[in-house]
Amino acid sequence: MTTDAPIRILAIAGSLREGSFNRLLVRLAASRAPEGVELVEATGLRDVEPFDADIEADGYPAGVAAFAAQVAASDAVFVSTPEYNGSVPGQLKNAFDWLSRVDGGPDRGALRDSPMFGRPAAVVSASDGQFGATWARDEMLKVLRTQGARVVAEPKLALAAAHEAFDADGVLKSPDALERLDGVVVALADTARALRAARAERSASSTGATTT
């Protein structure tokens, strides 16, 4: 991939509900992505099988494989999560538990070979409560750091009273919230772009050293 190709960000809504506030955030972020950035909504979260070490040795099951392939095809990952009982939704956490593993089981590679290792990632959150699912956001950031992702923690968006936050067109009413959402996407894309450039430079240096 060339360094000037668009940055591809996989956007994951942590709620399975089609009309969820977090899915609205994902789609709004995609519609406002800056030039040179493609923000693509992830599919198949509901199809990711429950993590089970008994089947892990046989490789990713179908739902996991499809989801992991979307991650692997991206430059960065953007997560928008609700908060269930003070933490991350179970299906979202389950998917990322799988993403900390290597296809084919623990004997096939280490954490650094897993889909999220080294991949830039950011998390926003939304709920109809007064704190905007900030606990779930913090928990999700901890999960990503544990997996070795390159976490982009600032700027921060934890959207409170989400049931009142969007207009009829699905746009945030608050200019500050819109600015924060845009800022998260820009910071994530900048991190992914810098990482891509660094890798290209290392590759060129390695090739030069080999051919001289």
Q: What is the DSSP string of 49-82?
A: PPP-HHHHTT---HHHHHHHHHHHT-SEEEEEE-
Total structural domains in the chain? 1
Specify if 44 maps to a domain.
yes
Q: Which domain holds residue 142?
A: 7-211
Specify if 93 maps to a domain.
yes
Residue 210 has pLDDT above 80, yes or no: no
Specify if 48 maps to a domain.
yes
3-state class (DSSP) for residue 144: helix
CB atoms within 10 A of CB 73: 10
- 0.95 exceeded by pTM: no
Specify if 193 maps to a domain.
yes
**pLDDT tens digits for range 114-158:** 899 999 999 999 999 999 999 999 999 999 999 999 999 999 999
Specify if 158 maps to a domain.
yes
Specify if 201 maps to a domain.
yes
**pLDDT tens digits for range 167-188:** 999 999 999 999 999 999 999 9
Specify if 16 maps to a domain.
yes
CATH number at residue 98: 3.40.50.360
The conformation of residue 111, written as its DSSP 8-state character, comes to G
Specify if 187 maps to a domain.
yes
